[in-house]
Amino acid sequence: MSAAESMEFEASGRKGPWTQEGRTPKIAIIGAGMSGIAAVVKLRKAGYTDLTVFEKADRVGGTWRDNSYPGLSCDVPSYWYSFRFAPNPNWSHRFSYGPEIQAYMEDTAERFGVSKITHFNSAVTSLTYEAPQWRLVTQAGDTSFFDIIITATGILHQPVLPDTPGQSSFEGNAFHSARWDHSVDLTGKRVGVIGTGSTAAQIVGDIAGRVGKLSVFQRTAQWMVPLQQKTYSERWKRFLGWFPFVQTFLYHFYYQAMTRGIGGAVLGDQKSLKRIADLCVRNLFRNVPEGNLRDRLTPTYQAACKRLVLCSSFYPAICRETSELVTEGIDHISPEGVVTKDGRTHKLDVLVYATGFDPTAFILPTRVTGEGGVDLEKFWDGVPRAHRAMSVPGFPNFWMLEGPTGPIGNLSLITISEYQVDYMIDCFNHMKHHRAEAMTPSREAFDTYNQAIREAVPHTIWATGGCNSWYLDKNGLPNLYPWLPSQFRREMKRPIFSEYRLS
Ligand code: N01
């Protein structure tokens, strides 16, 4: 590079390779949800201190900030759904409610200095690789350069509304579960909920007792595991505060219980599957009297094919006199309410779409351009894939937390993010050791890994269980990690550096 070029380069805010200049890398983390928070805390501890977080909203929290629907809770046990570096002896319940998790996220972000380095209300609109750095542009048009990009944007953050004829003609209040309109009082109203997934189950369980009439539009019956909720006493919380090792034990206890209970089942372990199915059937039989309603609530596919719904309040709620399970199928929406295929109009004041999210979004719609001008959205073409769920060939120094084909299901995403951050740190250390400018998975490693996934997924319950779900991509293949969580943990502990190209 000539002296003039070098000056121009410097003036543009860009730098040479961090490993060769002997400085810590400038790292941008996109998203201040649970994985963004985990990234900041762990990277800083590992000596990577030049960190900037970009957050599209005005607060940290991610999914726990975006979702505020009534009944919002986490069906993963609290002591496991916690950062390892921030154990919380004060969880009030075995399964925490949304506001308490959001408070925990905010408190952790504050305590560990995440909020201080976060640019709020700063949606990132484009990321362009201009070797050896990434150009990052925000919605406000601000441009900056980073050596490493980490996306921590979550999986399910783009709400999906069905494209039902007449949708916009509805004269009542209508909103998606993740965009809850708290100005609407549901008391005594005629409320419709479309969907019966994990979200709808929690909403229905919460609101059934106070609305005037509840119509739940079910397309597919769900397998529902009872949720053994428990309130923790003040004395217990004090005890945990005095003896933190008990909490560590509980973290591992729930980790093992959940991963063994569900991890094996989804891979086709018949004993585990039967145990789960029996549990769900007992739950249904105990709560719903024999007859037409119970029949319509009985799934016709295998348990664990869709994400299991853990909820004890849905069945009692749907059995109330003021509730109705509607299974005739939605024909269209009229100004008065929902018209089903049998020609009946279900008159409504409020319509809630608990219809899920776009599982292919990840970092999109941010425009990501890698080496040679390759566009990530085009590269994925509606089927997002990554090497070990974290990186993509041709996109150097670009890492994803909770990226495509990572383990999800009924596991703690906090734990998964923490493993992934540890893996990334090993990779950054490796770059440093080799004074490398860029690190990217080789095309061969990416293909081999994704071929192994393609060969493994047809044997999972997601593919063989006879259901449709957001786990399936547009080719009908599960977009999930098809091996045991213990294998994922091992993979994350020891990166195989020969899978990467250093330059
Ligand atoms: O979304 P979903 P969700 N007409 O996609 C129905 C996580 N989560 O928001 O089954 C009629 O699961 C659809 O019907 P069908 C968890 O990972 C975690 O509930 O496709 N119905 C289904 O019933 C979960 O898996 C927690 O036939 C329509 C529902 O809408 C994920 O978020 C809590 C329809 C969508 O279910 C998403 O859950 C809550 C249409 N046109 C959520 N379109 C925890 O506790 C869709 N449906 C951690």
Domain boundary among 323, 353, 383: 353
Ligand 1 pocket member 307 (CB < 6 A)? yes
305 lines ligand 1 (CB under 6 A): no
Could you tell me if 245 and 369 lie in one domain?
Answer: no
Residues 189 and 261 in one domain: yes
In a domain, 443, yes or no: no
Ligand 1 atom 12, closest CA: 197
CA 414/CA 46 separation, integer angstroms = 18
Residues 117 and 131 in one domain: yes
Beta-carbon count within 10 A of 116 CB: 10
CA of 60 to the centre of ligand 1 (A): 24
- Testing ligand 1's pocket by substitution, the residue of 63, 157, 199 carrying the most ligand atoms inside 8 A of its CB is 199
Residue 183 counted as domain residue: yes
Element (H, E) at 216: strand 213-217
If asked whether residues 120 and 195 sit together in one domain, one would say: no
**84 and 16 housed in the same domain:** yes
479 occurs within a structural domain = no
The structure tokens listed for 111 are 């305590």
* 195 pocket-lining for ligand 1 (C-beta < 6 Å): yes
Q: Does residue 76 have its Cβ closer than 6 Å to ligand 1?
A: yes
Q: Is 34 in the pocket of ligand 1 (CB under 6 A)?
A: no
For residue 433, the SS3 value is helix
Q: What is the DSSP letter of 81?
A: S
Q: Is residue 470 part of a domain?
A: no
Q: Whose CA is nearest to atom 17 of ligand 1?
A: 409
Q: Is 55 in the pocket of ligand 1 (CB under 6 A)?
A: no
Atom number in ligand 1 closest to CA 74: 45
Q: Which of 353, 381, 406 delimits the end of a domain?
A: 353
Question: Which tokens hold the place of 120?
Answer: 């709020």
Return the amino acid letter for 318: I
The CATH number of whichever domain residue 301 belongs to comes to 3.50.50.60
Number of structural domains (the chain) is: 2
Residues 201 and 331 in one domain: yes
Last residue of a domain, one of 295, 319, 353: 353
Q: Alpha-carbon distance 98 to 64, whole Å?
A: 6
In terms of domains, do 182 and 214 share one? yes
Residue 248 is part of which domain span?
Answer: 167-230+239-353
Minimal-distance CA residue to ligand 1 atom 20: 469
Taking the centre of ligand 1 as the mean of its atom positions, its distance from the CA of residue 476, in whole angstroms, is: 17
Task: Tell me the helices (H) and strands (E) count for the chain, helix number first.
Answer: 17, 21
One digit per residue, the tens of pLDDT, for the chain of length 503 reads 566 666 677 777 788 999 999 999 999 999 999 999 999 999 999 999 999 999 999 999 999 999 999 999 999 999 999 999 999 999 999 999 999 999 999 999 999 999 999 999 999 999 999 999 999 999 999 999 999 999 999 999 999 999 999 999 999 999 999 999 999 999 999 999 999 999 999 999 999 999 999 999 999 999 999 999 999 999 999 999 999 999 999 999 999 988 887 888 888 888 999 999 999 999 999 999 999 999 999 999 999 999 999 999 999 999 999 999 999 999 999 999 999 999 999 999 999 999 999 999 899 889 999 999 999 999 999 999 999 999 999 999 999 999 999 987 778 999 999 999 999 999 999 999 999 999 999 999 999 999 999 999 998 999 999 999 999 999 999 999 999 888 999 999 999 999 999 99
Are residues 209 and 346 both part of a single domain? Answer: yes
- Within a domain: 457: no
Q: Name the residue type at position 463.
A: A
Ligand 1 lined by 156 (C-beta under 6 Å): yes
Ligand 1 atom closest to residue 467's alpha carbon, by position in its atom list: 10
CB-CB contact of 208 with 70 (8 Å) = no
Residues 10, 143: one domain? yes
CA–centroid distance, 338 to ligand 1, in Å, is 19
Q: What is the 3-state secondary structure (H, E, C) of 152-185?
A: CCCCCCCECCCCCCCHHHCCCEEEEHHHCCCCCC
For 62, phi then psi, to 5°, come to: 55, -125
Question: Whole-prediction pTM value?
Answer: 0.95
In a domain, 486, yes or no: no
Query: Residue 473 falls within a domain, yes or no?
Result: no
